[in-house]
Structure 1
Amino acid sequence: MNKLSRNERLTVILKLLSAHKVLSNAQLAKLMQVTPKTIRCDLVKLEQEKQVIRTHGGVKRSEQFDADKYSLDSLMAQMATDRIESDIIPQGFNDDGVNQMKNKVFILGSFNVDIVATLERFPQPGETLHSLGSTIGAGGKGANQAYAAAKTGASVTFMTKIGKDQFSHFAKEHLASTGIDKTLIIESDDKPTGNALIYVSEQGGENMIAVYSGANTSIQHEEVVQAEQHILSADLFVTQLENNIDAIKQAMMLAHQHDVKVVLNPAPYHERTPELIPFVNMVTPNETEASLMSGIEVTDLATAKQAAIKINQMGVETVVITRGSQGALLYENDRFMEVGAIKSAVVDTTGAGDAFNGALAAQLVKGNSLLDAAKYANAYASLAVERIGAANMPDASLVTTRLN
């Protein structure tokens, strides 16, 4: 596409905003093949003319918005053909032409540095074993899920908090490399970056994890407020329980009040989990977490169904219980659905649940049914366990083959 004049760019921005309530600077710059600085200058002009309101990293329509302020020429036909139908700007229009933004996910969650030791077997209490190898990598349930959601096609905004320490640069570099659209990184003055000590057994690829939360559990009220616009512009809000519960609850309430669907992955389980339930549309526990939530010990499919019903009765519309090598159980609208296990060459199960949750969120905001989204997520997680490391998310192009 040829370089656009300024008036042509302004025409495009206004026309896109007539169909999309919110756009990001990065989307516009990529679409029109100009620098972010050029887009910012264009948006400043439109804001001065009271056409738009600039937000952090993006723009939305003002009350005085007029899509036809600038003349529309043949450029728009070219743009519609060449770009708008691409995956740069998400599609999904209502009959009235208002875009439903079917792939925007906001994830509030943790970032941890994972220190992983691989062993032939887990040590007994008081026993010292030589490890077969060790690595330092990126992790944290929030970061992993954001990575998986971005890998599987969602437009992701990820909010996290790290320390000002030797791991902060590592965290920023990793998050910048994941394909996550926006990262809202807060830096703590007094808490270190979270970290996890992980043992991985060669016998079956199972893991044992000890997490030090650090800065993850120090998110302040005003820091959530600063992220409000990002939360409200999302189609799906996803969180876990590795951050401080007060911040999680505040963010969930914001999403819930503005009809943004809320998905809670209740991991690791927290005693205050029940007070979050009124703001949750979907919950995605594993069998252990489902047991703790429901008070019913989950040992098989029958008890998993009992737990799902109990959690639903607590006020959650949709329950998805991940069952490891047994697949997943779904409960929605008084109906059970099962997603069968997929055989895989298990190397490391660390992050498998995160791969499932991130892929599930991405498929749901694309408009897929719960069952289809869960089947996809199950296949994606089966690919993740064939890789070493929680943050080593597989390529989405492999999922179709695995499903077949």
Structure 2
Amino acid sequence: MIRTHGGVQISAEFDADKYCLDNLLSQLTSNASLSSPSAQTPSKRRGNEMNNKVFILGSFNVDIVSTLERFPQPGETLHALSNNIGAGGKGANQAYATAKAGANVTFMTKIGKDQFSHFAKEHLATTGINNTIIAESDNSPTGNALIYVCQQTGENMIAVHSGANTEITQQEIIQAEQHIVGADLLLTQLENNIDAVKRAMQIAHAHGVSVVLNPAPYHNETPSLLEYVDMVTPNETEASLMTGIEVTDLDSAKQAAIKISQMGVNKVVITRGAQGVLLYENGRFSEVAAVKCVVTDTTGAGDAFNGALVAQIVKGDSLLDAARFANAYASLAVEREGAANMPDVSLVAARL
């Protein structure tokens, strides 16, 4: 495998077929060391020491990124400073960050059978993710995103075509059930079809697996998922949409956090960009200040935060300590170009 700026080139030795869903499920069912869901009750399994396992259900997208001096006005054409094709999707980015932060990660996604499918398998095989379950659609292409990055500010504008990401079937979720049940924590977002997300949450919740929802992008059915959620991690925009409270400052963020908690979620983490992070747990607020950094590209910053956050939680950190770590990790991520260009976790200590 040859790494290139913005992605990878396919190596002759890479066997993409071994990462297909059928092959992985065959390995799973033949592994006698895995117990069935009924053989291990939630209370008994949760009483054992955590094994740092995170199951992530999420999207994979091919990102087409253009860097501009500024964003164009409607009807305006600008020359791009650079143009790159790389890997993205909130699920894949978060799985990558979680693995980089030291957790044992199983990532499940769905792609098409198109010119990007081999690229997707190649990328996922090189990220350090422990186990990848890839379903393939006969009908839709691999998800893709068109991203503008403003050189002046590092801010981004993104248009996503979901493609196969929204075609995960109930049967595919059920086939991955033992992976979900065997995890300490399930992390998911809303770039996949809601019925698949909900089914995965229900399985996790029923077996005592902690469920973390990053409600991005916001979906009208988000409130219906919250009964299965232990922790939710919206940004200010998503918190506003969830609650009807316009989050513009610390006071309004606190109001939104209280309302989300009243909707049935025990832990609320609101990411506030340059204003840091607000935590609400057991009726108490905590704040994590923003970390000073040189912003290059904010694409994937939230994914870096979420991945590092859950990695630290399954390793036994308190929510506050995990959020401090994740905040520092995200500050390192925005200093790099590309959503999937996650930093090395060894840099966090120095940043803190």
* TM-based fold match above 0.5: yes
One-letter amino acid matched to 2:277: A
Instruction: Tell me the residue number matched to 2:62.
Output: 113
What is the rounded CA distance, in whole Å, between the counterparts of 1:304 and 1:178 in structure 2?
Answer: 35
Higher relative contact order (CA 8 A, sep 6+): 2
What is the rounded CA distance, in whole Å, between the counterparts of 1:54 and 1:330 in structure 2?
Answer: 38
1:60 has 2:31 as partner: no
Offset at residue 101 of structure 1 (A): 3.1
Instruction: Tell me the residue number matched to 1:394.
Output: 343
Q: 2:115 aligns with which of 158, 163, 166?
A: 166
Computed over aligned residues only, the root mean square deviation of the Cα atoms, in angstroms, reads 2.0
SS class of match (2:211)? strand
Instruction: Tell me the residue number matched to 1:181.
Output: 130
SS class of match (1:136)? strand
Offset at residue 249 of structure 1 (A): 0.5
Offset at residue 203 of structure 1 (A): 1.4
What is the rounded CA distance, in whole Å, between the counterparts of 1:351 and 1:56 in structure 2?
Answer: 36
Instruction: Tell me the residue number matched to 1:310.
Output: 259
SS class of match (1:196)? strand
What is the rounded CA distance, in whole Å, between the counterparts of 1:250 and 1:181 in structure 2?
Answer: 23
Q: 1:341 aligns with which of 280, 283, 290?
A: 290
Q: 1:379 aligns with which of 319, 328, 334?
A: 328
What is the rounded CA distance, in whole Å, between the counterparts of 1:259 and 1:212 in structure 2?
Answer: 34
Offset at residue 61 of structure 1 (A): 5.4
* TM alignment of 1:82-101, pairs within 5 A: 99-101=48-50
Instruction: Tell me the residue number matched to 1:81.
Output: none
SS class of match (1:263)? strand
Offset at residue 57 of structure 1 (A): 5.6
Deviations 1:184-229 (A, max 9, x none): 0001111100000000001110000000000000001100000000
Instruction: Tell me the residue number matched to 1:266.
Output: 215
One-letter amino acid matched to 1:273: T
One-letter amino acid matched to 2:75: G
Tell me if the contact between 1:319 and 1:331 (Cα under 8 Å) persists in the aligned partners: yes
What is the rounded CA distance, in whole Å, between the counterparts of 2:29 and 2:314 in structure 1?
Answer: 23
Identity level (%)? 75
Tell me if the contact between 1:163 and 1:190 (Cα under 8 Å) persists in the aligned partners: yes
Offset at residue 100 of structure 1 (A): 2.2
1:206 has 2:180 as partner: no
One-letter amino acid matched to 1:188: S
Instruction: Tell me the residue number matched to 2:10.
Output: none
One-letter amino acid matched to 1:59: S
Flag the structure with larger Rg. Answer: 1
1:126 has 2:126 as partner: no
Q: Name the TM-score, length of structure 2 as normaliser.
A: 0.88
Tell me if the contact between 1:160 and 1:216 (Cα under 8 Å) persists in the aligned partners: yes
What is the rounded CA distance, in whole Å, between the counterparts of 2:142 and 2:235 in structure 1?
Answer: 26
Offset at residue 385 of structure 1 (A): 0.1
SS class of match (1:237)? strand
Instruction: Tell me the residue number matched to 1:42.
Output: none
**Change over 3 Å in CA distance of 1:138–1:308 after alignment to 2:** same
1:235 has 2:184 as partner: yes
Deviations 1:217-251 (A, max 9, x none): 00011000000000000000000000000000011
Number of matched pairs: 321
Q: Name the TM-score, length of structure 1 as normaliser.
A: 0.77
Q: Which residues of structure 1 form unaligned runs of 5+?
A: 1-52, 66-95
SS class of match (1:60)? coil
Tell me if the contact between 1:102 and 1:367 (Cα under 8 Å) persists in the aligned partners: no
What is the rounded CA distance, in whole Å, between the counterparts of 2:348 and 2:206 in structure 1?
Answer: 35
One-letter amino acid matched to 1:300: D
SS class of match (2:191)? coil
Dislocated runs of 4+, deviation >6 Å: none
What is the rounded CA distance, in whole Å, between the counterparts of 1:211 and 1:223 in structure 2?
Answer: 23
Instruction: Tell me the residue number matched to 1:367.
Output: 316
Q: Which residues of structure 2 form unaligned runs of 5+?
A: 1-26, 40-44
Instruction: Tell me the residue number matched to 1:245.
Output: 194
Q: 2:143 aligns with which of 194, 210, 216?
A: 194
SS class of match (1:229)? helix
SS class of match (1:175)? helix
**Change over 3 Å in CA distance of 1:59–1:205 after alignment to 2:** same
One-letter amino acid matched to 1:132: L
